[in-house]
């Protein structure tokens, strides 16, 4: 693992995208980002003390054959496993790959593809203070554990974890991974809104399916989503058996 440490950059994902010599396993960690990017063109608040990093994963034939569209789920699962192992808190997995704690977001993942590489960008609230602007939706792990978290150490564990669980996926363990994901499925039983362009559909989220899509119970029947924006319209637990 080659680690590049930067004080300030626009975005660690952009840095790797523009890097001329790309190589599997290059990790870039930044103390600050001036233009942190989230999924669907959202901004990522990159406050001081957060874990902000991206790494390059080279495309593999087996991954394409077994379904590269599941990669974000595998990365999210690996995040969950590492955080659970490290902090043993009640983390949840929000499809497609956010990690939640006590109904607030701890970490987000942005997977992009450039040439023959996936750029896996991860933002995780570690030692940063959550600004009042987002305090209803975000949570910082340092505030919960009450001590300083070593960013480099956790980044290294996460990157190793991603390789480990990707290997398990490629070795046929998807069903076990999926089963565990469904026990920590944050959206399960919640009323959600699915936004695709101008189209908005309402429903109740169900399980994450074999092909990685999310099952949603709508007034028009059961639907399965793999694209678009998923918004939780409120936090009503319709079903409470999970
Ligand atoms: C999301 O939840 O929408 C994904 C957020 C991903 C943020 C990280 S921070 C490090 C890397 N660089 C970026 O510009 N984005 C990712």
Tokens 């910082």 found at: 140
Is the model's pLDDT at 13 over the cut of 50?
yes
204 CA to centre of ligand 1 in angstroms: 27
149 CA to centre of ligand 1 in angstroms: 19
221 CA to centre of ligand 1 in angstroms: 34
Q: Residue 61: its pLDDT value, please?
A: 93
Q: Residue 201: its pLDDT value, please?
A: 86
CA dihedral 215, 218, 220, 222 (to 10 degrees): 20
In 3D, which of 182, 223, 184, 185 has the Cα closest to residue 202? 223
User: pLDDT tens-digit profile of 191-214?
Assistant: 999 887 778 889 999 999 999 999
* Ligand 1 atom, smallest distance to 122 CA: 8
- The residues lining ligand 1, judged by C-beta closer than 6 Å to any ligand atom, are 11-13, 33, 36-39, 42, 44, 52-54, 98, 108-110, 121-123
User: pLDDT tens-digit profile of 19-75?
Assistant: 999 999 999 999 999 999 998 788 887 778 999 999 999 999 999 998 888 999 999
Cα separation, 181 vs 190, whole angstroms = 16
* Ligand 1 atom, smallest distance to 108 CA: 2
pLDDT band, very low/low/confident/very high, at 103 (cuts 50, 70, 90): very high
124 CA to centre of ligand 1 in angstroms: 9
Which pTM does this prediction carry?
0.92
């Amino acid at each position: 693992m080659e680690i590049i440490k930067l004080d300030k950059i626009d975005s660690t994902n952009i840095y790797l995208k523009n890097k001329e010599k790309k190589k599997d396993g290059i990790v870039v960690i930044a103390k600050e980002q001036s233009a942190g990017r989230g999924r669907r063109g959202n901004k990522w608040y990159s406050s001081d003390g957060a874990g902000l990093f991206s790494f390059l994963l080279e495309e593999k034939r087996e991954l394409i054959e077994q379904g590269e569209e599941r990669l974000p789920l595998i990365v999210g699962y690996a995040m969950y496993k590492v955080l659970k192992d490290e902090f043993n808190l009640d983390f949840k997995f929000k499809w497609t790959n956010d990690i939640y704690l006590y109904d607030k977001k701890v970490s987000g993942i942005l997977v992009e593809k450039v040439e023959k590489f996936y750029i896996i960008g991860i933002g995780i609230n570690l030692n940063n203070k959550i600004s009042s602007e987002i305090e209803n939706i975000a949570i910082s792990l340092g505030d919960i554990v009450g001590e300083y978290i070593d960013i480099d150490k956790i980044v290294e564990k996460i990157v190793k974890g991603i390789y480990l669980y990707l290997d398990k996926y490629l070795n046929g363990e998807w069903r076990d991974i999926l089963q565990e994901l469904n026990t920590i499925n944050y959206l399960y039983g919640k009323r959600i809104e699915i936004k695709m362009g101008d189209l908005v559909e309402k429903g109740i989220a169900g399980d994450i399916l074999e092909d990685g899509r999310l099952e949603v119970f709508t007034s028009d029947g059961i639907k399965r989503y793999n694209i678009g924006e998923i918004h939780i319209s409120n936090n009503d637990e319709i079903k409470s058996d999970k």
